[in-house]
Amino acid sequence: MPELPEVETVRRGLAPIMEGQVIARATVNRPDLRWPFPPEMSARLTGQRVLALRRRSKYLLADLASGETLLIHLGMSGRMLISGDPLGQFVHAHPAPEKHDHVVLDMAGGARITFNDPRRFGAMDLMPTTTAESHPLLARIGPEPLGNDFNELYLTAALKGRNTPIKSALLDQRIVAGLGNIYVCETLYRAGISPLTRAGTLSAKRAASLVPIIRDVLRDAITAGGSSLRDFRQTDGELGYFQHSFDVYGREGDLCRNSGCTGLITRVIQAGRSSFYCPKCQR
């Protein structure tokens, strides 16, 4: 499932095409994805100007002139692809429709944005912009890791006394928004902290040290266009490249990349997810 860097990469690709532009026609080709689409979604989107395109955790939020906000979640395999871009950033014309093109937004300027989702685990909803943060999917999400509310004092307090492994704590969207399995593994490797360490046993200094490392990992991944392991594509159809920079994720049995370390990357299962780490460097 796309994590924060992948969703932010998509947002940055879509923003020049959507922000300030009118949705000339919205075509909805099925009644649902993971959940049913909101009633009359096509009519509610058609003719609306997109005032802003935001990201909250792993969700895209398009604020419309109607006072509604379109929520988009990519799910496991969802892609937002641009064609016919009048800005000249993309070379492909509108492709022939495909089987899994579930929602198509034709913008007034000539661009087309297609939401393609073979597995149909994605989601879209419409909600009043003024109460968007209270939407059931957003209401309990913690602070954005690249924002000012996520800081050393906050994270130290949030982890204090927790008996869960630090890996599980950082995956908890109520503690910090948008982190997933890949970037937590990479963060803990850079921090030298084992994913098995109980969150509440970390010293205040070690807990605080995670904040700049989390930000660095996310920024590095965004710069690389995210990670493409299976289905993720950028809005121009290109792959992300951060997977080529993984230090631990997916590298079970490989030599640790820290200079002088002879440890091998190990994989363990935590809460049904694979954790990758170096037992010699991460304690």
Rounded to whole angstroms, what are the CA distances from 30 to 42, 101, 104?
Answer: 11, 9, 11
Q: Which of 80, 78, 77, 61 is nearest to 69 (CA)?
A: 61
Determine how many CB atoms are found less than 10 A away from the CB of residue 165.
Answer: 20
CA distance 225 to 7: 10
Residues 57 and 135 sit within 8 Å (Cβ to Cβ):
no
58 is catalytic: yes
| Catalytic position from the list 38, 152, 273, 279 | 273
Q: Which of 231, 145, 148 is nearest to 180 (CA)?
A: 145
CA distance 74 to 159: 29
Per the listing, tokens 């000339």 go with 24
Strands 68-73 and 79-83 turn out to be unpaired
Q: Look at residue 208 and give its three-state secondary structure.
A: helix
160 is catalytic: no
| Catalytic position from the list 11, 55, 58, 233 | 58
Query: Which positions are annotated as active-site residues?
Result: 2-3, 58, 273
